[in-house]
Amino acid sequence: MKKILLILGLLFGTTAAALAFTMPRWSFFPVKVYVPEGARYETINAALNDWSTKSGGLISFKQSKSKISANIVFEVVEDADTPGSTDIHAATTYLFKVDVKLADSVGGKKLSDARFKAAALHETANALALQLIEEPGYITTKNYYDQIEQPVELQDKDIEVLEKTYKETSIKDTIIKYKESEE
């Protein structure tokens, strides 16, 4: 029976580790962030602070004065077709650089501070490489900009998505916990 439990534990741990290691994510916090000075500086920082605060300290950000030394680089463009986009650079399992573009206006129409912050929240979710959900009504909804009503604040479900990505148990922890339970 112990052998069967050990094998099942190893299979479960291997599967969990394989899933964890196939999804690129940050391997360290705080992540250095460059936010350009300007009219939208405070709004982007408010979005970053929301993620950090509502994560209960699970994730954090540190301001960088340089784009070169930053891991996440925000850029605000004057006008675009969509409120935001994210370009992720990863080395197999870990992120090392993410470029985020946020639009001050879409199709010539200036975004309100609330809509701009919502775009910053959503693009930060992308920059954290969160596994976006199909369910509408959340910042972490996969097709966020296609929603009829786009939420403008983080909700519990958004934090659950964050925790799913960054609180996963590694195979090493699973094996150690299993061995401890055998004794």
Please check whether residue 105 is in contact with residue 78, taking contact to mean a CB–CB distance below 8 angstroms.
yes
Distances (CA, A) of 2 to 11, 17, 20, 180: 14, 22, 26, 13
The three-state DSSP-derived secondary structure of 94-130 is EEEEEEEEEEEEECCEECCHHHHHHHHHHHHHHHCCC
Q: Domain spans of the chain?
A: 25-168
List pLDDT tens digits, range 99-137. 999 999 999 999 999 999 999 999 999 999 999 999 999
Q: What is the CATH number of domain 25-168?
A: 3.40.390.10
The model carries a pTM of 0.81
Give ∠ CA 126-40-159 in degrees, rounded to 5: 35
Taking only the tens place, the pLDDT of each residue in 25-73 is: 999 999 999 999 998 999 999 999 999 999 999 999 999 999 999 999 9
Angle at 18 between CA 7 and CA 54, to 5 degrees: 115
